[in-house]
A = this chain, B = another copy of it.
Amino acid sequence: MSPAKQTNSEDYLRMYRQMVRIRTFEDNANQLYLSAKMPGLTHMYSGEEAVAVGICEALTVTDKITSTHRGHGHCVAKGADFKEMFCELLGKEEGYCRGKGGSMHIADQSNGNLGANAIVGGSMGIATGAAFTAKLLGTEDVTVCFFGDGATAQGLMYEVMNMAALWRLPVIYACENNGYSEYTRTDEIAAGSILARAEAFGIEAHQVDGQDVLAVNDLAQKLVARARTGDGPFFIELMTYRYHGHHVGDINRDYYRSRAEEKDWKENRDPIIRFRSWLVAEGIASDDALEAVNAEIRAEAADAVDYALNAKYPDVSEVDMHVFTDVRHALA
């Protein structure tokens, strides 16, 4: 792990806290699924926490992100609250999207999260457009586009990278390479080199250990600062791993990846365990203090789940609201 660089230990502790919040959120979401309390299904971010947190901690609240089907981690990392998130997952009125979006469309506009997306690669244009806005209006916001290794197969990525490069847009393409797209290994669906694909468009590209939150944050800080001053776009490939199945229902997965592999990542490369040991070793926090953080987050999550389970569904009259901005009920 990299040596301490931030001058303020609060920054480190916030990163730790945010990673634990993501893991805790996901554990609860998984429980909701397993106990049949959640409608539909969902994709867990557990294991990839250092990616979202390392990057989002380098962003301001008005900087934008676009997210994916595996979007809870990005949402938490960009500043969202548990209550509105769980409400959304359960389709409740107080959810971030009034229950209309659910897990795959969770968004949090107040913190610059333009939303999860159920179309693989579907948000690449959106992220590039957000960066276009920043340039046109001179806002200095930077946009980070999160997507998986599988999404690199979508042609849209190359179309927008070309434009971002030609117009030097303040966007960072963050490829979360977790080794799989659904039930298929990345090397079976990606020819050549992912980094080289970005570089071919004249985009500076970096690979980083996605399980090392400090390394991720360090790189992100630098690239975000450069993008902000017109030195973008950039591409980052973050090597990471998802602990659960592709979605919560993907339980028997021996046919596409081994338990030994999963065990290795969980035991030897877990981003939270690694960072926690480092915090303790560097004397930034005691183990007890970190344990207290965990407990506090667990309690917060339990409360939020409870709240969401008891919250009310949107009234049926909402069904034709929000089709158009200027028509209260589209079908009235």
A250 near B: Cβ within 8 Å? no
- Chain B residue numbers with a CB within 8 Å of A135 are none
User: In the docked arrangement, what's the CA distance between A154 and B163, Å?
Assistant: 12
Whether B196 contacts A200 by the Cβ 8 Å rule is: yes
| A197 interface residue (CB < 8 Å to B) | yes
CA distance A157 to B161 in the complex (A): 14
Q: Which residue of B lies closest to A158 (CB)?
A: B158
Residues of B within 8 Å of A156, CB to CB, are: 155
Residues of chain B within 8 A of A161, CB atoms compared: 191
Roughly how many angstroms separate A302 CA and B328 CA in the complex, as a whole number? 67
A-B pairs, 4 with minimum CB distance: A155-B155, A165-B191, A192-B202, A196-B200
Cα A158 to Cα B196 with chains together (Å): 13
Number of residues on chain A facing chain B (CB within 8 A): 24
Shortest Cβ distance from A160 into B: residue: B155
Known: A166-B188, A192-B203, A197-B201. 7 other contacts (CB 8 A): A153-B159, A154-B159, A157-B158, A162-B189, A162-B191, A166-B189, A197-B200
With the chains together, A327 CA to B189 CA distance in Å? 40
Report if A190 contacts B (CB, 8 A): yes
Q: Are A159 and B155 in contact (CB under 8 A)?
A: yes
- Contact pattern, A 193-210, Cβ under 8 Å of B = 1, otherwise 0: 100110111110000000
Q: Contact: B191 with A202, CB < 8 Å?
A: yes
**Would you give the 0/1 interface string for A141-176, flagging 1 where the beta carbon is closer than 8 Å to chain B?**
000000000000111111101100110000000000
Which B residues touch A202, using CB under 8 A? 191-193
Measured CA separation A64–B188 after assembly (Å): 27
Are A155 and B153 in contact, with the CB atoms below 8 A? no
In the complex, which residue of chain B has the Cβ closest to the Cβ of A162?
A: B191
In the bound assembly, the distance between CA atoms of A158 and B158 in angstroms comes to: 7
